Structure 1
Amino acid sequence: MAEQLRLVVPLHGEQVSNMQQLVSVMLVDDEIMALNNLKNLIDWEEAGYTIVASETNPRNALESFHKYRPQIVLVDIMMPVMNGLELSREIFALNIPVRILILTSYKDFLYAKEAVEIGISNYLVKHEINEESLILELGKLKYEIQNTETNDRYLRQRLIRHLIGGLLPPENLEIGIKNKYLDFKIGSLAFLFAKIDTSYPILKEISVVAKSHSNFIWDIFNLANDTEYMDAIRLNPDEAVFVIYFKEEELKETVREIASKTCKKMQERFQQDYEHTISIVPIIVDNKNQNIRNIYSIAENSFNYSVYMGKNIIIDYESIPTAVNSSFKEVSVILNELESDFVKRDSESLKNRLNIIFTLLGKPPWNPEDVQNTCDRLVFTLVKFRNKNSIQDNPSKIEISNLFNLNSIRKWFESEFISSVENAVTIDALRYSRIVRKILVILHHEYNVDLSIEEIADRIHLSAVYIRKRFKNEIGITILGYLTKIRMEKAIELLSTGEYKVFEVAELVGYSSSQYFSKVFKKYSGLRPLDYTSGV
Structure 2
Amino acid sequence: MAHLKVLIVDDELSIRAGIRNLINWEESGFTLVGEATNGRDALTQIEQYQPHIVLTDIIMPLLNGVELSNIIAKNYPEIQVIVLSSHDDFDLVKSSFQNGIVDYILKPTLTPESLLAILKQSAAKIKLIQSEVDPKIKLENALNQYLSGYTSDFEFEKLSDLLSGKRYHLLYSSLSLYKQPQEMRKQIQHYFNLIADDFATIGFITSQNDVGLLIGVTNSETKDLRAYLLYKIGLLDFCETHPFFTLSSSFEELWRVKVEFEMLKTASQNQRFYFKNLAVVDKKDLLAYQYGHEFDSPYFLKTLVNKAYLAGISQAKAYLNDLLIHTVSPVFLKEQTSTIFYNLFNVLENNKYLHDDFAKNRMTFIMKLNSCEFADDFSLLVRKTIESLETTLNGSLDHNEVFQEILDYIEAHFSEQITLTALSEKFHFSYNYLSSYFSTNYNATFSDYLKTLRMEKAKTLLKNSELNLSEISEAIGFSDLAYFSKVFKKEIGTSPSKYRRLDNGAY
Asked whether the two chains share a fold, i.e. TM above 0.5, the reply is no
Q: TM-score, normalised by structure 2?
A: 0.42
